[in-house]
Amino acid sequence: MSPVLRNRLIGVALAFGIFGIDQWVKWHILWTLRLRDRGVIDLLPFFDLRWTQNFGVSLGMFEATSMETRWLLVLVTAAIALVVTIWMLRETKLGDILGLALILGGALGNIKDRYELGYVIDYADLHFGDFRPFLIFNIADAAITIGVVIILARAFFMRNSEVDDLMDGKQPADAAESN
């Protein structure tokens, strides 16, 4: 098996793994812990499980207030997931593939919620007193955020290292040999 194929298979496995973990945790939040009925479960002074139905997307924007907007959000997020899938399957470097896989796995988890329920189940509430640095989120949201940070960091640092190599007089082939 070629290294590129191996990297892509790892990415697909990670995406499905994130999707599975996200759905497993949401199932337990809903049915084992019955968080919808309880509302809040205090775990730590700075972290609670808090039932939230998120009818919007990132940061609660673009809230689906009707069946039409719900299905539009499903369609738009599915289209984005398709683009991420194609992008991931075209990449060769494991670091880029892993970032995209995190985004894809998280997106699939949230798409499934929105498709089946009409909203995304959010439950993780990180807070310091009344200060909440994040909105209430779930594993899928965390995976998407981490994936985006990885992609941005790799794009920024990889681009800068390639520019530095060219400034040092190294050709792209010379730079690859030195790494």
Query: Catalytic site residues?
Result: 122, 141
The strand pair at 120-126 and 40-44 is best described as: unpaired
Find the length of the chain.
179
Q: Is there a contact between 14 and 103 (Cβ–Cβ < 8 Å)?
A: no
State how far the Cα of 159 lies from the Cα of 67, in Å rounded to an integer: 43
Q: Is there a contact between 89 and 10 (Cβ–Cβ < 8 Å)?
A: no
State how far the Cα of 155 lies from the Cα of 59, in Å rounded to an integer: 24
Name residue 62's amino acid. F
| Helix then strand then coil, % of the chain, to nearest 5 | 70, 15, 20
The residue written with tokens 């892993």 in the block is 98
Q: Among candidates 142, 136, 79, 72, which has minimal Cα distance to 105?
A: 142
